[in-house]
């Protein structure tokens, strides 16, 4: 319900105006705090959703502002990490190599940003997606899941009851 105004046809102007005002303000930040790359991933995700959901509403100037912010403050910053131009100790967590949730949050936000602008920046989007896929630690997550799976089973008495075997 909180985003129902987005699906209104046409979208409600006071809300789209306010959204653009917020996106414009955030696009003018010097950066999105790349020392804590979670901030970059989340801001890139937010901009990508705003850009995509209201693509038909934005003027060409508004689209350019949002796209530039996604690229400069999100995608190009991520490329510095993927290409190992940022040393791992320069930030609290080096998101491309960690197996914590930072990896999935940062790669997820950056990937959504790449998908949002892929039609106008296909080469950059392709590089981002290729690097994000290589970076996600699927094997460690799968191994953890497979080791934990035999420990639990769903009780036949209640679908919501979990018991140790």
pLDDT, tens only, 49-86: 999 999 999 999 999 999 999 999 999 999 999 998 88
Helix (H, G, I), strand (E, B) or coil at 31: coil
Residue 111 and residue 41 in contact, taking contact as beta carbons nearer than 8 Å? no
Burial of 165 (0-12, 13-18, 19+ CB in 10 A): exposed
Residue 5 and residue 15 in contact, taking contact as beta carbons nearer than 8 Å? yes
Highest-confidence segment of 6-15, 21-30, 105-114: 21-30
Q: Which pTM value belongs to this model?
A: 0.79
């Amino acid at each position: 319900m909180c985003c129902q105004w987005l699906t209104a046809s046409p979208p409600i102007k006071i809300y789209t105006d306010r959204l653009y005002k917020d996106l414009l303000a955030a696009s003018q930040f010097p950066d999105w705090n790349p020392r804590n790359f979670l901030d970059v991933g989340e801001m890139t995700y937010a901009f990508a959703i705003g850009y995509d959901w209201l693509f038909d509403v934005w003027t060409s100037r508004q689209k350019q502002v949002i796209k530039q912010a996604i690229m400069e403050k999100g995608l190009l910053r991520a490329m510095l990490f993927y290409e190992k131009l940022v040393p791992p100790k320069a930030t609290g967590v080096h998101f491309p190599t960690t197996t914590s949730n930072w990896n999935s949050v940062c790669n997820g936000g950056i990937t959504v940003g790449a998908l949002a602008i892929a039609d106008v920046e296909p080469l950059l989007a392709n590089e981002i997606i290729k690097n994000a896929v290589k970076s996600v630690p699927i094997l460690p997550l799968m191994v953890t899941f497979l080791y934990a799976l035999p420990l639990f089973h769903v009780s036949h008495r209640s679908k919501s009851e979990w018991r140790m075997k």
